[in-house]
């Protein structure tokens, strides 16, 4: 089978990495496609997959409309040459449209529930795969699994933390550290959502630096007052950083969920109504993450509590219980794709 995977975010490379690697061993051919915006291409190269870029990301609303035409055209031409039997993505509008034009099935994984995006790909997709924690009903095409996307690459079966990360961070193995994560709020599902301002960012870093070593990861520029805290490890090392951290605090829903899988305490300042993201809400019920809608003194007090009171072992116990109750998403996806292989082959 020839499978084209369209990537829209660095996290999607991780999501499909093990699936593609294992399927390649079974003799399937893969091509990854992506836009040039963060470090997707870097990760695809690191993991040894074939890829094609379909251009640079457009940031403005008008640019995104123009990009829909340009990216669809480029992906269509690439697909004509690659001749995929199946398209797979995490909510890619382009993969949905091109697969429909070529009369090939599109399998779409979804976990954010951005309906502006869903409405553009749903009519053109064959299957929409979501977690049982996903709160929206997407109709007859929806297929649910009892898992989280982050389990596809951070399940203990696939990921082993590397203690050498301490050396890369310039720390001893006994030193506590935390990661503060800021996001850009430029995605289509972030419209009308406000993130932390510069004053908030400075306050978080200054407060936590009194209790442990602080590293900052950010999608955009940070205030110059905290630029010295920027994390300098390679992108593919981020999960090792998260695994050994005493705490993650910030805006990223993906990293928050990743910490839930790794057993690292995580606090998200979401900018969204509490409980609106079903996956994070379920992880909070497991006692793995703590979600706040807005930044406040309470958020910082909770962060300090996690660092000082050494609550990581309790989180790890909760994490082990959660993993024992969840499905291996990579194997689920392999079995699902193999189950539709005969339909693809005709």
Position 346 confidence tier, pLDDT thresholds 50, 70, 90: very low
Please choose, from the candidates 293, 46, 310, 53, the residue with its C-alpha nearest in 3D space to the C-alpha of residue 178: 310
Q: In this model, does residue 276 exceed pLDDT 70?
A: no
Are both 192 and 320 inside the same structural domain? yes
Number of structural domains found in the chain: 2
Position 195 confidence tier, pLDDT thresholds 50, 70, 90: confident
Joined together, the tokens standing for residue 42 give 């870097």
Are both 181 and 71 inside the same structural domain? no
The answer as to whether 58 is a domain residue is yes
Position 99 confidence tier, pLDDT thresholds 50, 70, 90: very high
Q: What's the whole-number average pLDDT of the chain? A: 91
Pairing of the two strands 266-269 and 2-7? unpaired
The answer as to whether 156 is a domain residue is no
The answer as to whether 269 is a domain residue is yes
Domain span at residue 7?
2-147+327-345
Are both 32 and 132 inside the same structural domain? yes
Are both 315 and 174 inside the same structural domain? yes
CA quadruple 295, 296, 298, 300: dihedral sign: positive
Q: First vs last Cα of the chain: how many Å apart?
A: 12
Are both 95 and 224 inside the same structural domain? no
Counting DSSP H helices and E strands in the chain, the numbers are 15, 12
Whichever domain contains 308, its CATH number is 3.40.50.2000
Task: Give one DSSP letter per residue of 163-191, joined into a string.
Answer: TTHHHHHT--TT--EEEEEE----SGGGT
Are both 173 and 286 inside the same structural domain? yes
Asked whether the beta carbons of 86 and 4 are under 8 A apart, the reply is: yes
pTM above 0.85, yes or no: yes
Position 275 confidence tier, pLDDT thresholds 50, 70, 90: low
Question: What is d(CA 29, CA 66) in angstroms, rounded to the nearest whole number?
Answer: 31
Are both 136 and 169 inside the same structural domain? no
Higher pLDDT, 30 or 344: 30
Long-range contacts of 222-227 (CB under 8 A, 24+ apart): 222/182, 223/198, 226/201, 226/202
Asked whether the beta carbons of 333 and 327 are under 8 A apart, the reply is: no
The answer as to whether 50 is a domain residue is yes
Are both 176 and 229 inside the same structural domain? yes
pLDDT, tens digit, 9 for 90 and up, residues 114-168:
888 899 999 999 999 999 999 899 999 999 999 999 999 999 999 999 999 999 9
The answer as to whether 159 is a domain residue is no
pLDDT, tens digit, 9 for 90 and up, residues 206-231:
999 999 999 999 988 999 999 999 99
Residue 337 class from Cβ within 10 Å (0-12 exposed, 13-18 middle, 19+ buried)?
A: buried
Are both 171 and 183 inside the same structural domain? yes
Are both 208 and 289 inside the same structural domain? yes
The answer as to whether 238 is a domain residue is yes
Are both 256 and 192 inside the same structural domain? yes
What's residue 190's pLDDT?
42
Q: In this model, does residue 193 exceed pLDDT 70?
A: no
pLDDT, tens digit, 9 for 90 and up, residues 51-85:
999 988 777 777 778 878 999 999 999 999 999 99
Q: Among the ranges 35-44, 179-188, 282-291, which has the highest mean pLDDT value? A: 282-291
Are both 109 and 175 inside the same structural domain? no
């Amino acid at each position: 089978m020839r499978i084209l995977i369209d990537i829209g975010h660095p996290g999607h490379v991780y999501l499909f990495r093990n699936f593609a690697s294992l399927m390649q061993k079974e003799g399937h051919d893969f091509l990854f496609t992506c836009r040039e915006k963060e470090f997707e291409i870097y990760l695809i190269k690191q993991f040894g997959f074939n890829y094609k870029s379909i251009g640079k990301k457009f940031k403005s609303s008008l640019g995104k409309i123009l990009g829909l035409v340009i990216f669809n055209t480029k992906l269509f031409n690439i697909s004509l040459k690659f001749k995929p039997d199946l398209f797979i993505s995490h909510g890619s509008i382009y993969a949905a449209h091109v697969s429909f034009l070529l009369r090939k099935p599109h399998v779409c994984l979804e976990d954010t529930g951005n309906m502006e995006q869903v409405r553009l790909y749903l009519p053109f997709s064959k299957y929409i795969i979501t977690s049982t924690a996903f709160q929206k009903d997407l109709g007859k095409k929806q297929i649910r699994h009892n898992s989280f996307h982050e389990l596809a690459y951070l399940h203990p079966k696939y990921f082993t933390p590397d203690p050498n990360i301490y050396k890369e961070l310039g720390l001893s193995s006994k030193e506590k550290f935390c990661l503060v994560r800021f996001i850009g709020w430029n995605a289509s599902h972030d419209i009308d959502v406000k993130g932390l301002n510069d004053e908030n960012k400075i306050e978080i870093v200054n407060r936590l630096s009194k209790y442990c070593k602080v590293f900052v990861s950010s999608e955009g520029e940070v205030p110059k007052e905290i630029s010295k805290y920027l994390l300098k490890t390679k992108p593919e090392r981020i999960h090792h950083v998260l695994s050994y951290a005493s705490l993650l605090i910030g805006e990223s829903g993906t990293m928050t969920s990743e910490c839930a899988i790794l057993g690292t305490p995580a606090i998200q300042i979401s900018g969204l109504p509490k409980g609106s993201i079903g996956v994070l809400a379920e992880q909070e019920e497991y006692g793995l993450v703590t979600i706040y809608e807005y930044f406040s003194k309470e958020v910082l007090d909770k962060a300090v509590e996690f660092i000082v009171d050494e609550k990581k072992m309790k989180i790890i116990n909760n994490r082990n219980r959660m993993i024992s109750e969840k499905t291996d998403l990579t194997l689920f996806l392999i079995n699902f794709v193999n189950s539709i292989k005969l339909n693809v082959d005709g």
